[in-house]
Structure 1
Amino acid sequence: MTGSRFDLLTERWVPVLDDSGHARELGLEQVLLRAHELRRITGETPPMTAALHRLVLALLHRAYGPPTEEDWGALWKATALPEAPLREYLADKTSRFDLFDPERPFFQCPDLARLAPSTPFKLVPHRAVGNKVTLFDHTTASDRATMTPAEAARWLVTTQAFDPGGMKTPFTKDKSSQKAPCNTMGVVLVEGATLKETLLLNTLRYRPELERPEGTWPDDHPVWEQAHPPSGEPRTSRTARGWTDLLTWPSRRVLLFHDQADGRHVVNGVVLTPGDRYDGSQADEEKMAAFRKPVGTNGKPMRDKPLLPVRLHPVRGVWRHSVELLLSDRREENRSRLRPRTLHAIPDHVAQGHIPAKAVYTLRVFGQQLDDNNSVVEAYLEDQVPAPVTLLRADDEVLGALIGTAITLADNAGAALRHMERDYRKDKRAAPSSTLDLDYWPKLTARFTTLITDLGEVWPAGAASTEAVTTWSSHVRRTAQRAAERWAGGAQAEAADIVLMAKYLDRFLNRLITLVRTFDHEVRNYIPREEE
């Protein structure tokens, strides 16, 4: 940092883990050029990790493309990302990445200088102040009044992607803000062995002059390429120009205030006002999310409803959406699901010999939970599911039905647990409880990971094996039964009517037996038993 400059290309601010597991901070240039030596980007929170990846991906697309599968393969096979394309792209843009540039501060709006700043911790949901303190932190503005430029840069990027909605400081009159686009979905990242692999696995064929990827137009560009700084009065709403525009969507107008303190440069204030409202179709434009049709009371997708993003749940694992996350849907019309478009190219990479057919990657999914008013962050969320390349390549509705049936068994057993507890408490006129969910869902995640991995090994060869799915059904049955019995044991200590509690437990166990039998019967439609 020189004077009042903080160059995001060269200053250390992006948090990473190197290949030895040591935490470091690097500038954007080194994040790309040393990506082969790094394990991952790792933010302070899951939303920060997702937002930083999206920013780096936008820069990668503009510097490297890649325009074709051959170009992608060349980047994949190279030991490191080549330096020349990045230097050529950045040659006339270095000032665009200065956090404190007086005319074009990065991802900010200089018009806001006329407004009085607040604490910079308005950018940090778990350090919120005033009447917007979250449920999991009660820090106040007086606890710390400044940030380092590196901290402020990280939270600036995160705010643009994940800031909740609600009332903001108006530039003139408009106080209302739409929640930032990433709040509506679980942001999906395909993770490889190194950061270089991860970035390339999430890179699409990018050629805006040919409108690639889909939904990208010739005038697509990230926020730092805008011809003029944004106006303090944001547009009412607009659609995305393309993929890098959406990756760097300016959901807020922000201006950081900075000064010297104890011989170092600090950020000591921020103005945060409403920004651009997103008026596009995420199902058409967003590439790092899975989508599904809402499910009706009959358990089937509602065909007349639009596709909605898959989101994370604080208790129930994201593996419940493995069909939407992993498997393709061949139908162009009336499709009930859509996996992240970043996965679509993986079969091409295998066909061209760029990645091994037996590889197993990980889908890491990031998000946050807002309150009912979409104005307060209640929880940060992160989850993962294995992604065997063999399943990503599978164009097989039977496989989708099999995995869907396995998930339905877990859903139905979980619903039966809730009904048991709800009906008992209704009879006792007691308040409902949600402890059964906590005693059931988290215990299924590891076993489902094994199921997906096992299917990835046996399915491509057409092997007929019921071992993986019968192990899954046995685990669901045992987990649900143990949760019910623990609930009953706790209820006995305080319930006067033991007979009533025993009635609901017995009804649940009979229901559970029926669910497992139904699952075993349905599985025969997908994997014939060896003795048959």
Structure 2
Amino acid sequence: MTQLFSFNLVDESWIPCVRANGSPAVLSIRDTLAQAHTLKGIAGESPPITAALHRFLLAILHRVFGPADYDAWAALWEAEQWDRDALNAYLDEWRPRFDLFDGERPFYQSPDDRMKPKSTINLSHDRASGNNPTLFDHHTEADGETLTPAQAARVLIAGQAYGLAGLSGITQKFTDGTCAGGIIFLVEGDNLKQTFLLNMIQYPPDNDHFGVHTGKDKPAWEMEDPFTPDRANPFGYLDYLTWQNRRVLFHPEQGQNGVIVRTMTMGPALRYDSSLLDPMKHYRADKKLRHVAVSLNENRTFWRDSASFFTFYDDIKENARPPATFRWLRELVEESVLDSHHLYRCRAIGMSKKQAKVFFFREERLPLPLAYLVNERLVEKLAIALDKANTLAFDLVQTARLMGMLQQLPTVEDRGWQKQWQGLNVNAKGSINNWIAHTGMERAYWASLDIPFQSFVVDLARDEEKALAAWYAQLRQAAQAALDQAGEYVGNDGRSFKAIVRGQSYLNYRLNELLPKKEKTE
């Protein structure tokens, strides 16, 4: 087959990076890995692209460097940069397999004669195509889109990882990619090399870190045919990180300013066993499925559940399971390879989906003191602090219900109002709940805690007593501000005034029950 175009990912610039000074840089695979110790990180145009690029590059690093055990990991950590000779030898050996438009074996692609050509917009979750609404970019399937080779490479890697289950136009259906459900947790170091290593588990992995490994394990580009045999279980972690969920084939063409990609064929391919646990995801216990990946909630920031991410159990079959990458870091701290006093950061990347439709994708960040991975008492303190924040949020809603009842229902008595609430009809409850939602008090409460929690989770690992006192003071302040906001939506008559007074009284009661008494200042 005659090859008209070429774009080799090993040496062409296509990975969006951030330098140490914050300036952007688009680099090749070779340069990204060679300069990783000088780079701040990778920043794709969307959270799924960012996560997918990390996992793709991790597959290369695992293939070249392992690490086989704690000592091997420690040696990589202590080295200033990656061994360029080892990297270059590998990239040079497999360089032909990284050409996006190779005539025989285009990177991450395969023809599918069952499928008709369609717009490349179908690979992107942030564009309107099929069932997907427009999220950020306002291209639509009817409009089509034009991709540069660099854009096409990024979209292709993300599309394989984040593909959604659904109809394909033929009997065989599309299935979810390995990243489509749950949150991908990425631990961030002080530079990109550290970030990669902090997410590199032992390789070959044991069952605690990844449940499958065979002698056939290799990344997709090394396989003669990554779709054969048709399988639900990967050969191992490298096969999993480069899992070919779609048969995609780009149709490159010459544009006015260079090579462009507008159309492709895309058909369903490998379907993975969803019971296999991803090392970068957090799982909650489930009686039926045993483990279910925790997902981002549109109305709930993930830090509110952060204590569970650090809760490790001996019997992993019956309990929630934090990311295996966290488990590996815990082992490194216990082996004195890493210091528990070190502070890193955690990125949580995920999306909300249903019936082949993406509702949102989001990235959240959280400080990660390594002390939480090895200090169970510290995690318990964090869990208690978060529980008090959640309880206070419930109390705020109860306070607002009391205020709403006193405003809207003249027969309500101060005493026993909770029982009276249970006896209200649907319309009365709906009216009061609508008023509560209109005030936005609960949203305001949680929003006011976002930034303080970032400091609290760090301070708690340093000085528990001082950090908890500051956190409880912040909870009081946030609750009072939320109540004051609700008060702005109350009328000016006597009944409304009574509602405010009784609401304040009830909140004060709950604050004093829930939190330590405020210290009096002289």
- The interval holding the TM-score normalised by the smaller chain is 0.7 to 0.9
Give the one of 443, 452, 455 matched to 2:460.
455
Match of 1:341 among 324, 338, 342: 324
Match for residue 411 of structure 2? none
Q: 1:46 to 1:315 in 2, by over 3 A?
A: same
| Distance in 1 (alpha carbons) for counterparts of 2:333 and 2:132 | 48
Q: Which residue of 1 aligns with 2:134?
A: 134
8 Å CA contact 1:160–1:249 kept in 2: the answer is yes
Candidates 338, 342, 352, aligned match of 1:369: 352
Unaligned runs of 5+ in 2: 406-426
Distance 1:136 1:88, change over 3 A: closer
Q: Give yes or no for contact 1:134–1:377 (8 Å, CA) kept in 2.
A: no
Matched, 1:473 2:472: yes
Q: 2:271 aligns with which of 263, 266, 277?
A: 277
How far apart are 1:503 and its partner, in Å?
A: 4.1
User: Quick check: 1:514 aligned with 2:514?
Assistant: no
Distance, in Å, in 1 between the alignment partners of 2:285 and 2:147 is 43
CA distance in 2, matches of 1:428, 1:29: 62
For residues 280 and 131 of structure 2, the distance between their equivalents in structure 1, rounded to whole angstroms, comes to 33
Query: 2:201 aligned with 1:222, yes or no?
Result: no
Task: Report 1:18-37 matches (<5 A).
Answer: 18-37=19-38
Q: Which amino acid aligns with 2:320?
A: R
Q: Distance in 1 between matches of 2:296 and 2:131?
A: 26
CA 1:519–1:135 in structure 2 vs 1: closer, same or farther (change >3 Å)? same
Match of 2:233 in 1: 239
Deviation at 1:199, TM superposition (A): 0.2
Q: CA deviation at 1:127?
A: 1.8
2:449 is matched with which residue? 444
Structure 1 residue 137 displacement after superposition? 5.0
Aligned to 1:12: 13
Alignment-derived partner of residue 253 in structure 2:
259
Structure 1 position 157, deviation (Å): 0.9
Provide, for residues 461-515 of structure 1, a one-character-per-residue CA deviation record: whole Å limited to 9, x for no partner: xxxx53211221221222123213212312438xxx8737954883586256436
TM-score (norm: length of structure 2):
0.85
Contact 2:66/2:202 (CA < 8 Å) preserved in 1?
A: yes
User: Which residue of 1 is the match for residue 145 of structure 2?
Assistant: 145
* Residue identity opposite 2:477 in structure 1: R
- Call closer, same or farther: CA 1:45–1:505 in 2, change over 3 Å: farther
| 1:71-121 CA-partner distances (Å, limit 9, x unpaired) | 211211112100222233334322221111223222222234x63321211
**Number of paired residues?**
489
Q: Corresponding residue for 1:525?
A: none
Q: Which residue number in structure 2 is paired with residue 486 of structure 1?
A: 485
For residue 476 of structure 1, give the secondary structure of its aligned residue in structure 2.
Answer: helix
Residue 125 (structure 1) aligned with residue 125 (structure 2): yes
In structure 1, what is the Cα distance between the partners aligned to 2:249 and 2:454?
44
Q: The residue matched to 1:445 in structure 2 has which SS?
A: helix
Question: What SS does the aligned partner of 2:158 have?
Answer: helix
Check the 8 A contact 1:319/1:385 in 2, yes or no. yes
Report whether the alignment pairs 1:103 with 2:97: no
The answer as to whether partners of 1:346 and 1:393 remain within 8 angstroms in 2 is: no
- Equivalent position amino acid for 2:246 in 1: R
CA contact (8 A) 2:188 2:347 kept: yes
Aligned-partner Cα distance in 1 for 2:512–2:291: 30
Task: Give distance in 2, aligned partners of 1:144 and 1:498.
Answer: 61
8 Å CA contact retained: 1:420, 1:504: no
Correspondence for 2:280:
288
Deviations 1:6-59 (A, max 9, x none): 111111111100112111111112211111111101110111111111111111
Tell me which residue corresponds to 1:526: none
SS class of match (1:499):
helix
Is 1:400 equivalent to 2:379 in the alignment?
A: yes
Change beyond 3 A, Cα 1:52–1:501: farther
CA distance in 2, matches of 1:14, 1:129: 25
- Displacement, 1:259? 0.7
TM-score, normalisation: structure 1: 0.83
SS in 1 for 2:290: coil
Structure of greater Rg = 2
1:315/1:441 contact within 8 Å kept: no
Runs of 5+ consecutive residues of structure 1 not aligned to the other structure: 295-302, 459-464, 522-528
Residue by residue over 1:158-199, the C-alpha shift from the partner in whole angstroms, topping out at 9 and shown as x without a partner, is 1112233322343xx22x323323232111011000000000
Q: 1:59 and 1:225 mapped to 2: Cα distance?
A: 11
Instruction: Map 1:190-201 onto structure 2 (within 5 A).
Output: 190-201=187-198
**Residues of 2 paired with 1:197 and 1:241: CA distance?**
27
1:168 aligns with 2:168: yes
Paired residues of 2:115 and 2:266 also in contact (CA < 8 A): no
Q: Which moved more, 1:6-15 or 1:241-250?
A: 241-250
Shift in CA distance, 305/37, structure 1 to aligned 2, threshold 3 Å:
same
Query: Aligned-residue CA RMSD in angstroms?
Result: 3.0
Tell me the equivalent position of 1:312.
Answer: 296
Whole-Å separation in 1 of the counterparts to 2:501 and 2:192? 49
Partner Cα separation in structure 2 for residue 191 and residue 409 of structure 1? 29
Contact 1:97 1:224 in 2 (8 A): yes
Structure 1 residue identity aligned to 2:384: T
Q: Distance in 2 between matches of 1:53 and 1:360?
A: 21
Q: CA deviation at 1:420?
A: 5.1
CA change 1:160–1:508 in 2 (3 A) is: farther
Match for residue 342 of structure 2 among 359, 372, 393: 359
Measure the CA separation in 2 of the matches of 1:38 and 1:14. 12
In percent, how many aligned pairs have the same letter? 31
Partners of 1:334 and 1:507 in 2: how far apart? 46
Aligned to 2:418: none
